[in-house]
Amino acid sequence: MSTSSAAIRTDPPTASPAGSLAKRFSVARAKEFVIKLFLLGCALLSIGTTIGIVIVLLTESVVSIDGTPAFFQEVSIWEFFTETRWTPQFPPPQQHFGIAPLLAGTFLVAGIAALIGLPVGLASAIYLSEYASPRARGIIKPALEMLAGVPSVVYGYFALVFVTPYILRPIFQSLMGFDVAVFNAASAGIVVGIMITPMIASLSEDALRAVPQGLREAGYALGSTKHDVAMKVVVPSAFSGIVASFLLAVSRAVGETMAVVIAAGQSPNLTLNPFESIETMTAFIVNVSQGDTPAGTIEYKSLYAVALTLFCVTLAMNFLSQAVMRRFREVYQ
């Protein structure tokens, strides 16, 4: 359907039918064209944002704009990934830029979050799609949406003020004798796990509900119980959708900032002990911006290098999730 069919009606009646159908200039058509260009411009703005992000992250880290050397011109990429100390605030002899502690901290928190979020989220999704009555769904779905809508600064507060003193300390310090620091990776990981649960539940539920009813009925006809159908028919059929939701959720846990800044601490330790204070990539970025690091110094530029690493990690996970999702679509369409 083209705009010309509508535009011919504004032509004077004297024009011959053949002439009026030709693509001639008219004010109405020009107006439509300008509007369409404006709308396209707005749509292209989203691509502009992506390009903006990439340019901003590359300036200061790879390409310098103000004449001083960029981050990766002073610190080699090899050192950045193999050095195991992250001490940007020290003077040069002790100053080390090895991202390993920040990466370890990030994945420690994301790992704990995944340990909680993946099973709980998937079990909720199975319950919602296979077992729940419409009435139960009507209560649970909005409650999960509320859980997803709580700002992350609130989760951070919850981790610091409740999870560490009232859950972690009594169980792991008093009972088991571990040393639980005030700021620790476990409390942050637990609340981030609670945060990503609704996301996994809702995305996985979509995948489970997309499995054709016929497959379930075939399962029952072969003598399966409800549990057999859920675990041996429905979950395997929706597997790629579930994996895609896991990847998206873990990517969100990696990029999560406020809960981690508040609860996990600011000490870049290369450790896998969840009760120690650590620092994630996001927490480092916030801490540098909150301090009084002057622009132009190498410490300030390290912020862009860390952000670039974070962006690459989350982007890779999102791409992977979409690739898995596309495979999933091919199965039933």
Partner 1 sequence: MSRPQAAFKSQLAARHRKGRVFYALCVTSTWLGISTLVVMLAGIIWQSSGWLNWTFLTSYDDALHPERAGILAGLWGSFWLMLLTIVISVPVGVAAAVYLEEFSSDTRLTRILRINLANLAGVPSIVYGILGLTVFVRMFGAFGSEQKVLAISLGFAELQIPLPFGRTVIAGALTLSLMNLPVIIVSAQEALRAVPSSLRHASLALGATRWQTIWHQVLPSATPGILTGVILSVSRAIGETAPLLMIGAMSYVAFTPGDISSPLDAARNPEGVLKAPFDSFTALPVQIFNWVSMRNEYQHVAAAGILVLLVVLLALNALAIFLRHRYQKRTRW
Q: Which residues from 41-70 bind partner 1, rule CB under 8 A?
A: 42-47, 49-50, 52-53, 56-57, 59, 65-66
Residues of span 293-312 touching partner 1 by CB under 8 A: 295, 303-304, 307, 310-311
**H or E, element range at 172:** none
Residue 264-293 contact track with partner 1, rule CB under 8 A, x = bound: ------------------x--xx--xx---
Q: For residues 84 and 104, is the Cβ–Cβ distance under 8 A? A: no
Q: Which of 318, 320, 327, 331 binds partner 1 (CB under 8 A)?
A: 318
State in angstroms the smallest separation of the CB of 254 from partner 1: 8
Q: For residues 295 and 127, is the Cβ–Cβ distance under 8 A? A: no
> Tokens 């509007």 correspond to what residue?
35
Residues of span 194-213 touching partner 1 by CB under 8 A: 194, 197-198, 201
Distance of CA 18 to CAs 10, 29, 98, 299, Å? 15, 18, 73, 71
Angle between helices 185-209 and 134-149 (to 10 degrees): 140
Contacting range for partner 1; rule: CB under 8 A; set: 81-89, 207-215, 236-244, 247-255: 247-255
CA distance 147 to 258: 16
Residues of span 77-116 touching partner 1 by CB under 8 A: none
**Closer to partner 1 at the Cβ: 114 or 248?**
248
How many Cα atoms occupy the beta-carbon half-sphere of 253 within 13 Å?
35
CA distance 161 to 169: 12
For position 161 contacting partner 1 by CB under 8 A, the verdict is yes
Residues of span 3-32 touching partner 1 by CB under 8 A: 3, 5-7, 9, 28, 31-32
**Closer to partner 1 at the Cβ: 269 or 318?**
318
SS3 content of the chain, % helix, strand, coil (to 5): 75, 0, 25
Contacts of 272 (CB under 8 A, 6+ apart): 104, 108
State in angstroms the smallest separation of the CB of 100 from partner 1: 20
Q: Which of 102, 110, 113, 160 binds partner 1 (CB under 8 A)?
A: 160
**Closer to partner 1 at the Cβ: 266 or 273?**
266
Q: Which of 231, 270, 320, 331 binds partner 1 (CB under 8 A)?
A: 231
Contacting range for partner 1; rule: CB under 8 A; set: 95-103, 107-115, 169-177, 315-323: 315-323
Residue 114-153 contact track with partner 1, rule CB under 8 A, x = bound: -----xx--xx-xxx--xx-------x--xx-xx-xxxxx
CA distance 257 to 282: 5
**Closer to partner 1 at the Cβ: 95 or 318?**
318
Is the dihedral angle over the CA atoms 146, 151, 152, 157 positive or is it negative? negative
**Closer to partner 1 at the Cβ: 22 or 146?**
146
How many Cα atoms occupy the beta-carbon half-sphere of 87 within 13 Å?
10
Size of residue set near partner 1 by CB under 8 A: 93
Contacts of residues 7-11 at CB distance under 8 Å and 24 or more positions apart, as own/partner, are 7/32
**Closer to partner 1 at the Cβ: 48 or 90?**
48
How many Cα atoms occupy the beta-carbon half-sphere of 217 within 13 Å?
3
DSSP assignment string, 66-95: SSSPPHHHHS-HHHHHH---B-TTS-GGG-
Contacting range for partner 1; rule: CB under 8 A; set: 90-98, 191-199, 212-220, 271-279: 191-199
**Closer to partner 1 at the Cβ: 143 or 272?**
143
